[in-house]
Structure 1
Amino acid sequence: MRTELDWSEYQDRGMGDAYADIPRQGGDFAKAVAVCIRSGVCEQHGRGVMCPSFRITDNPLLSPGGRVQLLKRALNSDEAALTSDQELAEAMDLCVACKGCKRECENNVDMAQIKIEYLAQKLKTESLSWRSRLFAYSPLWLNQYPVLGSLIRWRNKSALLAKAGEKFLGIAAKVPLPETARKPFSPRESSFPPLVAHPSGEARAVVLWLDSFSTLFAPQQAEDALYLLRMTGLTVHVIHPNSQPGTVLDSGRSLLTFGLATETRELAKQLLAVLSPYVAQGLSVVGLEPSSLLMLRDEYKTLGLGQPAVALAKQAMLFEEFIAAELTRGGFCLPFQTGKITQPVLIHGHCHQKAIGAMKSVRRVLKTVPGLEFSFIESSCCGMAGTFGLEAEHVDYSHQMAQQSLVPALQAAPDALVVCNGFGCAHQIKVTAGRQTLHLATLLRQALAE
């Protein structure tokens, strides 16, 4: 079996352990599967993220441990079994790649990464569906052909078009698609000077890397993040999808979600070529969208991109992580106004934020705003999970995930502001609870003194 991702970090896992139960086929990929010890911790309800599909079905095969058993069965059979086993296909189909198991499982089973390899293997014998191709390439196409944004708006306004989309493509008619902004974030300048002197008195800089979701769909949060970083005394180098004429600088998250490893690798090389000179200078690369920024820190290391990817991973940070680090260094000092925000604030964390422990950074940053009343929603995956919540056969599962704890928490606090950094999470909250959300950067800017 020729794997599409690099699983070499697992090469020594289970070796010499008679009870490791490593499958006969799959090499290091099989060892990554076999780290599961079937403790059953993934088959529980209550606190934490893991496992959204098990929580709504109580089906053990829809837990990470259940998927591991099906994967082992396939890898112990003939090579074709991995992609032909229908029971495995159904179990993997309902994995929302939340990465909860990577954090909460005792042995850190990375089912999200395993699913990518599984889908990449399927693409060797099956072609990508039209719907999957549309979703996978949408960030690239929307950047290249902005007029496509008008088609999304027409579809959302027309019940007939929505029904046709469900009939012919399998896109859920009852869920509106996210609409692009009429004026995406695409500044002509590439560097912005600080608006105030840095507290240290030094000339310091940072890279603000803006993904396609932030620039196309939520340009205000990009503007707010840029302003805040400049207000902390930093020179900000901005890299966005249209920074390089003739190409789209994108993380490749949407492509990799559907198993398109080769295409993702080519996009990653382009982005690495642009970011590596800044990384070589020791600058942090800061991003706003968890699923995209964490591609640079996690998935890029599995794509065989060598030392540049390893170096970037060490300096790639979420916005809240960077601000929290600046607080430690004494470099974050903004003129917040006491009582500027009078409403209570509810924070919903993206699953990938939770998987890396970034919610601690969110808490620390919010504590710097005097008089701010905030609390965190205790929930599993919101259910949007990339495009999962837009797919006709998955939409009911998606809404069940949202209704488990997220929607009830929002309904219990109708007057609260809702902070949510994840693009998909924000859309799910709008669809299932009818609430608008703010990115952390936008909330912080609103808290500034006039």
Structure 2
Amino acid sequence: FFGPNTSTSNRCMIGGMVGNNSSGSTSIRYGVTRDKVLQIDGVLSDGSLVCFKELTSKEFKLKTQEQSLEGKIYASIYNELSQEQVQQEIKSQFPKPSIHRRNTGYAVDELLASDLFGGLEATINIAKLLSGSEGTLVFSTAITLQLDIVQPKESVIVASHFKSINESLKATVLAMNHELFTCELMDKVILDCTKNNREQSKNRFFIQGDPEAILMFEVSANSIEEAQNKADKLIADLDNKNFGYHHPKVIGEDIKRMFDLRKAGLGLLGNIIGDKKAVACIEDTAVDLNDLPNYIEEFTKIMDKYQQKAVYYAHAGAGELHLRPILNLKKSEDVSLFRKITTETALLVKKYGGSFSGEHGDGIVRAEFIPLMIGETNYQLLRRIKKTFDPNNIFNQGKITDAFPMDKSLRYDIDRNEPEIKTIQDFSDNQGILKLAEKCNGSGDCRKPASAGGAMCPSYRATKDEKDTTRARANTLREFLTNSEQANKFNHQELKEVFDLCLSCKACASECPSNVDVAALKSEFLYQYQEENGYSFRNSMFANNVKYNKIGSLVPGLTNLVLNTYLTKSIMGISLKRSVPKLTPKTLKAWYKKQTHSSSQKIVYVFCDEFTNFYDTDIGKDTITVLKRLGYNPTFINHSESGRSFISKGFLKEAKVIANKNVAIFKELITEQTPLVGIEPSAILTFRDEYIRLADDVNSATIISKNTFTIEEFILKEFEKGTIRTNQFSTEKKLIKIHGHCHQKALSSTHATFSILNIPKNYKPTIMNTGCCGMAGSFGYEKEHYKVSMQVGEDTLFPKIRNTSKEIEIVAAGTSCRHQIYDGTKRIAKHPITVLREALV
């Protein structure tokens, strides 16, 4: 495997890792990217092809005689580094040799290891120089890497809790004597950000109390017993020195959960509400491990001087912490602090012989400080190297040499008048829609592949186009809301294009570390744009489906026949390859009126959503049957539809009316003792999500949301209380595979589905690692979206189902999911409540 393991490893590119000599959490064991680069093939600035690889001293000298740009490069490097004065200047000014994470400027110090320049190595490789050069010297076309042997199969992480940063760093120096594989720090700021993150709050299982810092010490061995023994010795050593107050050991699958928490660090910092953000400028400094406690102590004094509460996290064991001041770069006084803090920290790093960039590269923010870090003489050497490689300065200008100033071309105009954006949804939890869009910090979690798990971002996975990512949508919206001169800042065709393939799956609401809810942004955009430009016939039909279904359900057979004709699909813009859902002969509400009602005092209000009522009546019947048989009184009352279709299509005035009606109806009824339970996830979860943004009576909407459950959540809650028992269900054996609905994953959990299907003694459910199904309500029916819809299904869901034996039950709670599964695989998936109804005894 490739040893350097960045926190962005599920989406980063090898070219990028070579460009800034990335490291990651495993660098203390496996080194940095530069250590692994064997060969770089590329194109030089004159268009000639080149291959940089390991050469003997003799081969290197022969290269210097070639009459080409490549020959000039070898000759220039040889002539420059052969000078003793140059060698001494490099050795005296570059970071200490003990600091392995070193990216300040070009790595000319690496080349001095060759016997050509007085070193001990018989070979030399210019590819080492290119590692960390940030694309300023060569255009790479192929990179050959050295792989590592996979680490021992058993690991234990000691998650030591500390009452101060300084104590944790002193403990790091001690712990590094224990052959650690990783040694990572998370401070209180990062840990606090995880508390309210839907995806990461569940990964806080190992945290006790309110520590100022947690260090993750990973030890590995070929057996779990040996790894446990190593962990115990480490803990004993820490206790002996009175370092830390709690040292839990984490093993097995829980290690991944812990690393997910750590890897989310950068994105979580973007979740800070308001204009003050954890800013990248000094986040990449590296010093000798033994200098780290004193360095951080002095750094903290700089922060205190400027009344700053900095963020400390990441690679403590490698002598590199990601340090971030929290600044508002919209304000001139904080932009001034931005420069002052960076400058003083650079001087401090120089004092300790450290590297101003350990793994992120110099880029724009640090490049202007290279002369300070390595001296003017060495800086001029770098300029000459750049000039030799790229005489016309065509590769990545303004990086490393002749750099742009760090405080120019900032994202925000300084001291600007903040735009006032009026919205129909309430975005006050983020201080407005603009600040919600601004929370995106570009960490790119939305570019992760299907193999990384989760559903974000289905459209990007299908198209592999950056414009179809969560961050593209957030940043495009931010740009227009900030700079548009139109009265309606949403009225731009470019916004329509960038939101077009958003499936409103809400994966970003939980999987994006900054919780940028693009589905909410899209619905607001659609409303604002359509108010200006009108609502299409098709969108109006889909949004008002309840009105038309009420009419159609009077003659369901004829309606179904007409809706599935070529003419209707063509007029509606529905893909001819789709089958349109069929209305049932009798609605669920009509069926319910003729049922004998339970006399049980355990009232459960069942939300009769518009999808179950018209299309999935049998599933509604199963829900009523199960609740009755288990001793409850399932109760329908007159209420409006959920409004899901109005929300998805941007008909927010209509959705707001519905939200207000339903909140008014249920606020006097729904309590902890009389909960509201729903069948279709996308419908019932509007009470937890969109109604909070839409309803006028936010307080009542919030109270209702806390006592609103999917049917799976309700049954699980009752089972855990002992009200529902295993002996009420069949002992028959059954294998089940579960596909989770996207809204269920974002706002609830597929764990509830898994757990209730474990109630029958011999049922064996497993949750499939699948992303979005691709249907997303009406999205998959629309002819221009059909192809992308099916590509999303092919990403993970369809292959897994095709490879599932016919004897294994497929379960999916979402009506769209079940329809997409059938269209894509011809397998019939069941709602989990149907499986439970079949299991009743």
Q: Tell me which residue corresponds to 1:143.
A: 550
Mapped partners of 1:364, 1:281: distance in 2: 21
Structure 1 gaps of 5+ residues are 1-9, 196-202
1:319 equivalent in alignment to 2:711? yes
Aligned partners of 1:316 and 1:388: how far apart in 2? 27
Which of these residues, 817, 820, 833, is aligned with residue 425 of structure 1?
A: 817
Counterpart contact for 1:191–1:236, Cα < 8 Å? no
Equivalents in 1 of 2:595, 2:705: separation in Å? 22
2:629 counterpart (221, 228, 231) = 231
- The residue type paired with residue 188 of structure 1 is K
Q: Distance in 2 between matches of 1:373 and 1:438?
A: 15
Paired residues for 1:42-441 under 5 Å: 42-45=446-449, 46=451, 47-80=453-486, 82-147=489-554, 149-155=556-562, 161-162=565-566, 164-186=567-589, 187-188=592-593, 192-193=597-598, 203-239=601-637, 243=638, 249-279=640-670, 282-306=673-697, 307-333=699-725, 335-339=728-732, 341-342=733-734, 344-415=735-806, 416-441=808-833
Deviations 1:37-91 (A, max 9, x none): 1111111102111000110111112111111221122112225374343332111
Matched residue of 1:124: which SS? helix
Contact between 1:165 and 1:173, CA under 8 Å: does it hold in 2?
no
Contact 1:42 1:105 in 2 (8 A): yes
Using the alignment, how far apart are the partners of 1:377 and 1:73 within structure 2?
38
| 2:729 maps to amino acid | F
Q: Distance in 1 between matches of 2:412 and 2:523?
A: 20
Shift of the alpha carbon at 1:238?
Answer: 1.9
1:208 CA displacement: 1.2
Q: Is the 8 A contact 1:190 1:237 kept in 2?
A: no
The more displaced of 434-443 and 271-280 is: 271-280
Instruction: Calculate percent identity across the aligned residue pairs.
Output: 29
Which letter maps to 1:437? A
Which whole-Å CA distance do the structure 2 matches of 1:379 and 1:150 have between them?
35
Distance change >3 Å, CA 194–CA 365, structure 1 → 2: farther
Contact 1:430 1:436 (8 Å CA) reproduced:
yes
Q: Contact conserved, 1:11 with 1:31, CA < 8 A, in 2?
A: no
Compute the displacement of 1:125 (Å): 0.6
Instruction: Provide the C-alpha distance between the structure 2 equivalents of 1:226 and 1:50, rounded to a whole number of angstroms.
Output: 34
Alpha-carbon displacement from aligned partner over 1:364-419 (angstroms, at most 9, x marks no partner):
11121111122222111111101000001000000101111111111101412111
TM-superposed deviation, 1:436: 1.2
Q: 1:12 to 1:412 in 2, by over 3 A?
A: closer
Structure 2 counterpart of 1:419, one-letter code: V
From 416, 433, 436, give the equivalent of 1:32: 436
Q: Is the 8 A contact 1:337 1:370 kept in 2?
A: yes
Letter in 2 for 1:290: P
Q: CA, structure 1 residues 181+419, in 2 after alignment: closer, same or farther (shift >3 Å)?
A: same
Q: How far apart, CA to CA, are the structure 1 residues paired with 2:675 and 2:796? A: 35
Q: Which of 253, 266, 275 does residue 14 from structure 1 map onto?
A: 275
What SS does structure 1 have at the residue aligned with 2:668? helix
**TM-aligned CA deviation for residue 349 of structure 1:** 0.7
Three-state SS of the structure 1 residue aligned to 2:737 is strand
Distance in 2, matches of 1:445 and 1:211, equals 19
Which residue of 2 is the match for residue 5 of structure 1?
A: none
> Any conservation in 2 of the 1:14–1:35 contact (CA below 8 Å)?
no
Q: Is the 8 A contact 1:132 1:258 kept in 2?
A: yes
Per the TM alignment, residue 444 of structure 1 is displaced from its structure 2 partner at its CA by 0.4
TM-score by length of structure 1 reads 0.88
Q: CA deviation at 1:150?
A: 3.7
SS at match of 2:544: helix
- How far does residue 318 in structure 1 lie from its aligned partner after superposition? 0.5
Query: What letter is aligned with 1:237?
Result: T
CA apart distance, 1:170: 1.3
User: What amino acid maps onto 1:268 in structure 2?
Assistant: A
Provide closer, same or farther for how the CA distance between residues 399 and 254 of structure 1 changes in structure 2, counting only shifts above 3 A: same
Give the distance between the partners of 2:419 and 2:461, measured in 1 at CA: 31
Hey, what's the Cα distance between the residues in 1 that align with 2:557 and 2:412? 51
Greater displacement, 24-33 / 410-419: 24-33
Report the CA distance between 1:332 and its aligned residue.
1.4
Is the contact between residue 221 and residue 442 of structure 1 (CA under 8 Å) also seen in structure 2? Answer: yes
Structure 2: runs of 5+ lacking an equivalent: 1-270, 278-326, 331-410, 422-431
- Shift in Å, 1:302: 0.4
1:214-264 deviations in Å (ceiling 9; x for gaps): 11111111111112112222222223xxx36xxxx2011111111111111
Instruction: Please report how far the alpha carbon of residue 151 of structure 1 lies from its aligned counterpart in structure 2 after TM superposition.
Output: 4.8
Inter-partner Cα distance in structure 2 for 1:79 and 1:316: 43
Contact preservation (8 Å) 2:780, 2:786: yes
Letter in 1 for 2:529: K
CA contact (8 A) 1:22 1:30 kept: no
SS at match of 1:98: coil
Q: Compared with structure 1, are the counterparts of its residues 166 and 19 closer, same or farther at alpha carbon in structure 2 (3 Å cutoff)?
A: farther
* C-alpha contact (below 8 Å) 1:14/1:22 kept by paired residues: no
Once the 2 structures are TM-superposed, how far is the Cα of residue 435 of structure 1 from its aligned partner?
A: 1.4
Q: Matched residue pairs, number? A: 420
Q: 1:281 to 1:167 in 2, by over 3 A?
A: closer
CA distance in 2, matches of 1:48, 1:310: 27
* Shift of residue 272, structure 1, vs aligned partner: 2.4
Between the aligned partners of 2:442 and 2:596, the Cα distance in structure 1 is: 51
Q: 1:146 to 1:75 in 2, by over 3 A?
A: same
**1:204 to partner: Cα distance:** 2.4
Task: Provide closer, same or farther for how the CA distance between residues 230 and 72 of structure 1 changes in structure 2, counting only shifts above 3 A.
Answer: same
Runs of 4+ in 1 over 4 A off after TM superposition: 19-24
Q: Which amino acid in 2 is paired with 1:85?
A: H
**Per-residue CA shift, 1:139-183, capped at 9, x if unaligned?**
2321254246445421465xxx32x33443311111111111112
Q: Is the 8 A contact 1:102 1:110 kept in 2?
A: yes
Distance 1:367 1:25, change over 3 A: same
2:783 partner amino acid: A
Q: In 2, are the aligned partners of 1:380 and 1:405 still within 8 Å (CA)?
A: yes
For residues 100 and 192 of structure 1, what CA distance do their matches in structure 2 show? 39
Q: Is the 8 A contact 1:191 1:238 kept in 2?
A: no
- Give the match's secondary structure for 1:373: strand
Partner AA of 1:383 in structure 2: G
Q: Which moved more, 1:404-413 or 1:70-79?
A: 70-79
Q: Which amino acid aligns with 1:13?
A: G
